[in-house]
């Protein structure tokens, strides 16, 4: 299962968001206490296609896609140089697959901001600088080894690549922003560079900042568009209230806010998508289920997600796009309309493909 890390300054709302995503029951505190462990949990990725298929098949079980979420504690200004406990956790972020930057825009006198002012873009810069410095340290140590050791021709390509990365970081640019080929990316993969990981920004706002022309929200939206990073705007406080409601009240509450979906649901899907993941679906009277694959996975790889025997004995995949199935109203009708295709091993799966694999054992 792939992992997304919630990263941010203390008291930005990470624990609140982790609880909302995973129901992990992590303690939420109004003051930064310095006590710090990595908290983790598993989040369901909400998918309305599953609800629709469940209405169609009345299965015994509905299984959504999932991703792991961890809260990275203790990042403050100076962490990469050993301030606070942050340095330890920078190493921990190296193992995750994507980073969610939790940015505080809410104002609350009972929750003191560690830097004494509300400025989400400045907070982002503070945290990104720590990630950048940490990457710089990793690359410089490696470069030193490459230049002082016996110089091998095979190391030359790596050395040039690392120098390019170091130059970018030195100018305050992330490794993500570099235009790298597949070979270069795989050379870098082992370093777990923090600024190379896909990112999502989460702006945690007050209720009043959710709608209308809020200048803070607008500035962050513009910066996200410039950086090409997906942005989710939500109020963790309101999301916590929504989470207490039953399904009907919840729908009413959301329609009062003028939205169809809670911010937390949007966040889960944004992180899933930033991780490069899509879902294919299987449906029957036993189970309706979303299965996670990488974007670009083939039908045979998808079959292997369910069982290695299905991949090995793969004959054909019967595939219908979810939207085609919905338009047809039933699998039988979709078949009559010629919407159900037979695909081979090499077929590249699309998000929302409803699939039945034919295989021999």
Nearer to ligand GDP, 235 or 300 (CB): 235
- As measured in angstroms, the least distance from the Cβ of 261 to ligand GDP is 18
- C-beta closer to ligand GDP: residue 11 or 168: 11
Binding of residue 272 to ligand GDP (CB under 6 A): no
- Phi-psi map region of 53: left, alpha, beta (phi>0 left; psi -120 to 50 alpha): alpha
Cβ neighbours of 235 (radius 10 Å): 22
Name which of 33 and 148 has its Cβ closer to ligand GDP.
Answer: 33
Q: Which option in Mg ion, ligand GDP, none does residue 12 bind, with CB closer than 5 to 8 A by kind?
A: ligand GDP
**Binding stretches for Mg ion (CB under 5 A):** 14-15
Question: Which is closer to Mg ion, CB of 136 or CB of 236?
Answer: 236
Partner from ligand GDP, Mg ion, none binding residue 79, C-beta < 5-8 Å depending on class = none
CA atoms within 13 A on the CB side of 18: 27
Segment near ligand GDP (CB under 6 A), from 10-18, 209-217, 332-340, 344-352?
10-18
Size, binding site for ligand GDP by CB under 6 A: 18
Residue 51 or 211 with smaller CB distance to ligand GDP = 211
Cα separation, 18 vs 243, in Å, equals 13
Q: Side-chain half-sphere of 28: how many Cα atoms within 13 Å?
A: 16
Q: Which one of ligand GDP, Mg ion, none interacts with residue 237, CB within 5 to 8 A by kind? A: ligand GDP
Classify residue 260 as exposed, middle or buried by CB count within 10 Å of its CB (0-12, 13-18, 19+): exposed
The entry of ligand GDP, Mg ion, none that residue 84 binds, CB within 5 to 8 Å by partner kind: none
Q: Tell me the per-residue interface mask from 13 to 52 with ligand GDP, x by CB under 6 A, - otherwise.
A: xxxx-----------xxx----------------------
Nearer to ligand GDP, 30 or 91 (CB): 30
- C-alpha 51 chain-centroid distance: 22
Note whether 257 binds ligand GDP by CB under 6 A: no
Q: Which residues, including other chains, have CB under 8 Å from residue 156's CB and lie 6 or more apart?
A: none
CA 155 to chain CA centroid, nearest Å:
33
Q: 196 — phi, psi (to 5°)?
A: -100, -20
Q: Which of residues 106-165 bind ligand GDP (CB under 6 A)?
A: 106, 108, 111
Instruction: Provide, rounded to whole angstroms, the least separation between the CB of residue 27 and ligand GDP.
Output: 8
Q: Which stretches of the chain are assigned E, i.e. beta strand?
A: 3-7, 39-45, 61-63, 65-71, 98-104, 199-204, 231-234, 277-283, 287-294, 314-321, 341-343, 353-359
Strand order in the sheet with 287-294: 61-63, 287-294, 277-283, 353-359, 314-321, 341-343
Site residues for ligand GDP per CB under 6 A: 8, 10-16, 28-30, 106, 108, 111, 204, 235-237
């Amino acid at each position: 299962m792939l992992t997304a890390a919630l990263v941010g300054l203390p008291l930005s709302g990470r624990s609140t968001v982790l609880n909302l995503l995973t129901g992990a029951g992590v303690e939420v505190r109004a003051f930064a206490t310095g006590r710090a462990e990595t908290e983790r949990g598993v989040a369901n990725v909400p998918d309305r296609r599953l609800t629709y298929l469940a209405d169609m098949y009345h299965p015994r079980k509905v299984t959504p896609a999932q991703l792991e979420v961890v809260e990275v504690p203790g990042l403050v200004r100076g962490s990469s140089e050993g301030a606070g406990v942050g340095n330890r956790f920078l190493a921990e972020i190296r193992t995750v697959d994507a980073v969610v930057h939790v940015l505080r825009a809410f104002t609350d006198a009972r929750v003191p901001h560690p830097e004494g002012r509300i400025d989400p873009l400045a907070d982002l810069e503070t945290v990104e600088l720590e990630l950048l410095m940490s990457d710089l340290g990793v690359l410089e140590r490696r470069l030193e080894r490459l230049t002082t050791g016996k110089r091998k021709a095979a190391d030359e390509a790596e050395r040039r690549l690392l120098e390019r990365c170091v130059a970018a970081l030195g100018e305050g640019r992330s490794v993500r922003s570099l235009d790298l080929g597949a070979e270069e990316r795989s050379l870098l993969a082992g370093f777990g560079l923090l600024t190379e990981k896909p990112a999502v920004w989460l702006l945690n706002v007050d209720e009043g900042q959710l709608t209308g022309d809020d200048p803070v929200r607008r500035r962050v939206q513009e910066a996200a568009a410039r950086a090409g990073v997906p942005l989710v705007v939500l109020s963790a406080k309101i999301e916590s209230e929504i989470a207490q409601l039953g399904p009907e009240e919840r729908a009413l509450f959301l329609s009062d806010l003028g939205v169809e979906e809670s911010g937390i649901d949007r966040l889960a899907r944004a992180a899933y998508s930033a991780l490069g993941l899509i879902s294919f679906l299987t449906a029957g009277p036993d189970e309706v289920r979303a299965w996670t694959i990488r974007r670009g996975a083939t039908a045979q790889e998808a079959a292997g997600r369910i069982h290695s025997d299905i991949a090995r004995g793969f004959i054909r995949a019967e595939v219908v796009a979810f939207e085609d199935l919905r338009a047809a109203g039933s699998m039988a009708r979709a078949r009559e309309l010629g919407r159900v295709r037979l695909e081979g091993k090499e077929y590249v799966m699309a998000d929302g493909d409803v699939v039945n694999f034919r295989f021999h054992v």
